[in-house]
């Protein structure tokens, strides 16, 4: 989903551990584990109730957590908890589409109107290609302001009412897609600069159903999640997460004070765009396999890594491929991955270009920055603490 106002460059500890395959932990390894734990503790001290992560470097794996999963009970956060991973789901959906491209069932540069003429009729259906949906250059606007109408007044007071109105609402993908297709265009199809839109990835879910003959979530589960042996990843059945998980606190830029728990929520509003539940271990496994060429072909991966400039939902520029971000951290080489937020939950995953380093980190507080009188986000210590973790995990 990804409504954020801070980009990439911009407690009690629990669950420390570094595994070095086949050998005892060295002094260097122990020191690195302490540094990573300290980075998580700093995020917690800066204001995040609970944060947990997995970091991989070569054959070494470290998992840690800091803070609490539940503010009311004080239950601790742990690195094995399941979490809503938001728009990281888009990479799973993109992989499923690329599988169909490899099989010849979908043309990457074929018009979406060939497959879904009723959902994207007329000239736009002829001009918008599957690739444009994948890299957000379709020009279709996001349906979110129409599904959550009170957000249209943001940042005016009271603009979060729709979050509660929709907690148990069951949306259909077609209903949400129609909101985006019927809204004023965000740009021209195939424009050199794209606009991030969840409408694109719900259309890709409908495309998967049209060409596979089964539900999109079922297809992704059978053909992406299970082959990768992601045992704790799946689309939720109902409003609740099965298994141990944190409460998920939404601040919405200070408009919800104190932050409200949205861990119980009907996720039909994001579906194949941001609906998955997973763990930091599973997310790292998936992206490691993907960037290692073990999920789609090398040719498909090259297509996924062909990027364009895209403007996200808060006007910030991102570098986007087909379901993949390319990130830049000062002092590091190229980094691939994706970020994801839904109400109350935020996740970030990163993989170095050589595949040697990985980070997946999850937090149970979202949109912590308060806004000034002009609606601009104010800097927060959490931003600095996260930046420090990213550098600690991904840079030498």
The closest alpha carbon to 134, from 207, 200, 216, belongs to 200
329 burial level (CB within 10 Å; 0-12, 13-18, 19+): middle
Give the C-alpha separation, 235 to 220, whole Å. Answer: 9
pLDDT computed for residue 158 by the predictor: 65
And the tokens for 363?
């937090």
**Distance separating alpha carbons of residues 41 and 91, to the nearest angstrom:** 29
Specify which residues 14 forms β-bridges with: 65
- pLDDT of amino acid 62: 97
Rg (CA), the chain: 20
What mean pLDDT comes out for the span 364-382? Answer: 91
pLDDT band at 342 (very low <50, low <70, confident <90, very high): very high
pLDDT tens digit sequence for 215-269: 999 999 999 999 999 999 999 999 999 999 999 999 999 999 999 999 999 999 9
DSSP for 80-112?
T--EE-GGGHHHHHHHHHHHHHHTTSS-TTSBG
Q: How far is CA 326 from its chain centroid?
A: 13
Does residue 8 surpass a pLDDT of 60? Answer: no
Q: What are the distances in angstroms from CA 167 to CA 45, 159, 263? A: 30, 15, 10
Could you tell me which residue, 371 or 99, shows the higher pLDDT?
99
Confidence of residue 199 (pLDDT cuts 50, 70, 90): very high
Residue 377 has pLDDT above 90, yes or no: no
CA distances from 367 to 47, 68, 226, 235, 341 (A): 12, 18, 32, 24, 9
Q: What is the mean pLDDT of residues 332-338?
A: 94
Question: Is the backbone of residue 165 left (phi > 0), alpha (psi -120 to 50) or beta?
Answer: alpha
What's the CA gap between 360 and 362, in Å, rounded? 7
Q: CA 83, CA 362: separation in Å to the nearest integer?
A: 7
In the prediction, which pLDDT does 315 show? Answer: 82
Is residue 63 within 8 Å of residue 79, measured between CB atoms? yes
DSSP assignment string, 193-224? SEE--HHHHHHHHHHHHHHHSS-HHHHHIIII
46-59 pLDDT tens trace: 999 999 999 999 99
pLDDT of 336 above 60: yes
Does residue 194 or residue 330 have the better pLDDT?
194
Q: Mind listing the pLDDT tens digit for each residue in 94-131?
A: 999 999 999 999 999 999 999 999 999 999 999 999 99
DSSP-assigned letter for residue 238: S
Q: Give Cβ neighbours of residue 130 (< 8 Å, ≥ 6 apart).
A: 97, 101, 106, 107, 108, 109, 110, 112, 204, 207
- pLDDT given for residue 25 in this prediction: 61
- The reported pLDDT for the residue numbered 153 is 82
Which pLDDT value is given to residue 19? 39
pLDDT tier for residue 6 given thresholds of 50, 70 and 90:
very low
């Amino acid at each position: 989903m990804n409504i954020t106002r801070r980009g990439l460059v911009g407690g009690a500890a629990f669950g420390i551990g570094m595994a070095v395959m086949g050998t005892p932990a060295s002094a260097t390894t122990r020191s690195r584990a302490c540094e990573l734990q300290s980075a998580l503790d700093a995020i917690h001290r800066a204001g995040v109730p609970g944060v947990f992560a997995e970091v991989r470097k070569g054959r070494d794996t470290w998992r840690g957590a800091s803070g609490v999963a539940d503010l009311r009970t004080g239950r601790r956060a742990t690195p094995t908890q399941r979490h809503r991973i938001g728009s990281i789901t888009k990479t799973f959906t993109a992989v499923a589409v690329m599988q169909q491209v490899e099989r010849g069932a979908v043309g990457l540069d074929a018009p979406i109107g060939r497959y879904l003429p009723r959902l994207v009729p007329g000239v736009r259906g002829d001009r918008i290609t599957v690739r444009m949906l994948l890299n957000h250059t379709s020009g279709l606007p996001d349906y979110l302001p129409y599904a959550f109408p009170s957000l249209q007044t943001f940042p005016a007071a009271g603009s979060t009412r729709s979050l509660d109105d929709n907690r148990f609402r069951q949306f259909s993908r077609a209903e949400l897609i129609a909101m985006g297709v019927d809204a004023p265009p965000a740009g021209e199809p195939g424009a050199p600069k794209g606009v991030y839109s969840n409408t694109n990835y719900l259309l890709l879910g409908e495309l998967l159903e049209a060409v596979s003959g089964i539900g999109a979530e079922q297809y992704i589960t059978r053909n992406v999640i299970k082959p990768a042996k992601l045992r704790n990843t799946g689309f939720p059945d109902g409003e609740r997460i099965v298994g141990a998980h944190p409460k998920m606190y939404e601040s919405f830029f200070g408009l919800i004070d104190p932050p409200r728990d949205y861990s119980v929520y009907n996720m039909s509003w994001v579906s194949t765009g941001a609906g998955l539940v997973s763990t930091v271990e599973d997310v790292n496994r998936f992206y490691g396999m993907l960037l290692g060429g073990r999920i789609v072909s090398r040719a498909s991966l090259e297509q996924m890594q062909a990027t364009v400039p895209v403007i996200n939902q808060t006007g910030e520029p991102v570098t986007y491929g087909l379901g993949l971000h390319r990130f830049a951290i000062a002092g590091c080489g190229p980094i691939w991955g994706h970020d994801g937020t839904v109400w109350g939950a935020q996740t970030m995953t990163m993989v170095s270009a050589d595949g040697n380093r990985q980070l997946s980190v999850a937090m149970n507080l979202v949109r912590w920055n308060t806004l000034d009188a002009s609606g601009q986000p104010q800097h927060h210590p959490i931003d600095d603490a996260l930046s420090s973790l990213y550098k600690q995990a991904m840079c030498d």
